[in-house]
């Protein structure tokens, strides 16, 4: 990093209130010393050490849990609209620090600055959504079959919510969960990825002032930095009724199994193997732009990244040529530079996974169209930069059936829409999907029960870039969880059905007679 760049990042860290050596546990209003192993956070952009975090130990975890023991009982009694007002103030704080927080997200993860800003905006958006929701936690009323009886349902706070987030969205996914949980009356325990701890510490540093000004009880919003050992403590802890976990399918199986063993709830947002179908009736220029961002954006490190492209055989060759030319124009470089379109992978291990995946697909018969190189030399000193790859492959290849968290796009062709949908659905994952067509018969079939089997199905937009208004999540190996908008708030609450007898008789349901 050049001297002026170091100064810029130093200013950013200072503005966010971050110190070079940070503590790994916060109970919302207070920071505590931790004495666990240190985590060094290096930027994949240039390999520079950004900061050092002392991660938490098991004793630290117990201290946090004990501190927050009474927090839930106090917080759930705060009226929901007042809880919403706290979230409004958090949104205001995020607006104030959108630029420096966006830069930190970009620098610590490697995603380009525009995406870093977009992630902070996503936090603001979910805050706004949650503020409105705080006055809309509606239940239902039902007619009773018994005379002079009234039935209704209501929703109560669930308790503590554990949030385990991944490196690729180091702040937004926490906000999706935490802001909804807050207005629902829950308390939150956040374990971020140990690959991006500073983003999490920055968020808690910013909101500590908001919590203190509002005299929020200590332990309502908690942060704990640690490795898989801390994650295991959270997942096996009966004091935490809901675990929301984002990550790979393999990680989700581990989390889901641990939580299920104690009959807890889990909200799993796991891997995607997302495809776009391009028909002969598509606007090809529109489709090309969507594929570029979907496949190369965030260097292929989104769960909604476009990984497979299923193209009508009559336009296959011409669209492949368009795509190859477009890939040649992708600007790869430092994520904070304005011209950059593709930043680095998160670390060198991710680069090795990229190389191994390509090697395996080529061994199965895949043909590289372009890209696939690991970039070296000036500007690529961190060893985390690769050229996004396009490769012709069969859907049945073992590696194509898996999610590789890297910018690899598999091309395949089809002859009928039925065949395209069959290819599309013939993977274990079911997160995001898209079709490009101006033919309503094709698009409606894709959206019907015989179409996409994913939790997200789009028409004439790509697989990446979901809005917070809709519930986000997928089916099959993606885990079945739903986060963010719509009625996803219900996952953070418990439903209670109430029946009130306002008469003087005691009739039984189903007409049962039981008399002495």
> What is the set of active-site residues?
269, 303
Three-state secondary-structure class, residue 120: helix
Q: Please state the φ and ψ torsions of residue 496, each to the nearest 5 degrees.
A: -130, 125
Is the distance from CB of 389 to CB of 408 less than 8 angstroms? yes
d(CA 312, CA 314): 6
As beta bridge partners, residue 143 has: 150
Measured distance between the N- and C-terminal CA atoms of the chain, rounded to whole angstroms: 87
Q: Is the dihedral of CA 254, 256, 259, 261 positive or negative?
A: negative
Element (H, E) at 25: strand 25-26
**Residues 6 or more apart in contact with residue 280 via CB below 8 angstroms:** 312, 314, 315
Residue 132: how many other CB atoms lie within 10 Å: 11
User: What is the DSSP track for 66-100?
Assistant: HHTTTHHHHHTTS-HHHHHHHHHHHHHHHHHTHHH
Say which residue the tokens 């207005």 belong to.
Answer: 183
Q: How far is CA 257 from CA 31, 76, 136, 226, 479, in A?
A: 32, 29, 33, 21, 12
């Amino acid at each position: 990093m050049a001297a002026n760049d170091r100064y810029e990042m130093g200013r950013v860290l200072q503005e966010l209130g971050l110190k070079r050596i940070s503590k790994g546990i916060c109970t919302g209003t207070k920071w505590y010393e931790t004495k666990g192993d240190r985590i060094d956070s290096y930027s994949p952009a240039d390999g520079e050490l950004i900061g050092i975090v002392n991660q938490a130990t098991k004793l630290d975890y117990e201290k946090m849990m004990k501190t927050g023991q009474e927090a839930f009982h106090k917080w759930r009694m705060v009226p929901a609209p007042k809880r919403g007002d706290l979230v409004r103030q958090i949104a205001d704080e995020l607006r104030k620090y959108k630029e420096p927080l966006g830069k930190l997200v970009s620098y610590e993860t490697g995603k380009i600055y525009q995406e870093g800003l977009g992630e902070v905006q996503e936090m603001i958006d979910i805050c706004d959504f949650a503020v409105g929701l705080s006055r809309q936690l509606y239940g239902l009323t039902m007619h009773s079959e018994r005379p002079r009886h009234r039935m209704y349902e209501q929703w109560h706070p669930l308790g503590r919510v554990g949030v385990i987030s991944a490196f690729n969205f180091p702040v937004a996914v926490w906000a999706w969960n935490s802001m909804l949980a807050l207005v629902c009356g829950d308390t939150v325990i956040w374990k971020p990825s140990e690959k991006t701890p500073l983003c999490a510490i920055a968020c808690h540093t910013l909101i500590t002032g908001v919590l203190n000004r509002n005299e929020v009880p200590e332990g309502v919003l908690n942060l704990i930095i640690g490795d898989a050992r801390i994650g295991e403590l959270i997942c096996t802890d009966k004091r935490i009724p809901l675990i929301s976990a984002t990550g790979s399918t393999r990680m989700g199986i581990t989390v889901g199994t641990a939580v299920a063993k104690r009959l807890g709830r889990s909200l799993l947002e796991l891997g995607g193997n997302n495809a776009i179908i391009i028909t002969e009736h598509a606007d090809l220029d529109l489709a090309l732009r969507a594929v570029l961002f979907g496949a190369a954006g965030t260097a292929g490190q989104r769960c909604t990244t476009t990984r497979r492209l299923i193209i009508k055989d009559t336009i296959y060759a011409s669209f492949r040529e368009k795509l190859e030319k477009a890939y040649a124009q992708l600007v790869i470089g430092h994520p904070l530079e304005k011209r950059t379109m593709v930043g680095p992978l998160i670390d060198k291990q991710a680069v090795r996974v990229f190389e191994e995946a390509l090697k395996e697909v080529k061994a199965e018969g895949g043909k590289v169209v372009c890209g696939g190189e690991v970039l070296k030399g000036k500007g690529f000193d961190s060893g985390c930069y690769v050229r996004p790859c396009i490769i012709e492959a069969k859907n049945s290849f073992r590696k194509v059936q898996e999610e590789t968290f890297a910018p690899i796009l598999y091309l395949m062709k089809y002859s009928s829409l039925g065949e395209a949908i069959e290819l599309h659905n013939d993977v274990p994952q079911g997160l995001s999907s898209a079709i490009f067509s101006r033919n309503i018969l094709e698009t409606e079939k894709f959206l019907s029960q015989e179409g996409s089997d994913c939790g997200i199905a789009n028409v004439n937009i790509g697989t990446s870039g979901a809005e917070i208004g809709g519930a986000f999540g997928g089916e099959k190996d993606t885990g079945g969880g739903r986060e963010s908008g719509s009625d996803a708030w219900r996952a953070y609450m418990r439903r209670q059905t109430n029946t009130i007898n306002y008469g003087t008789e005691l009739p039984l349901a189903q007409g049962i007679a039981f008399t002495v």
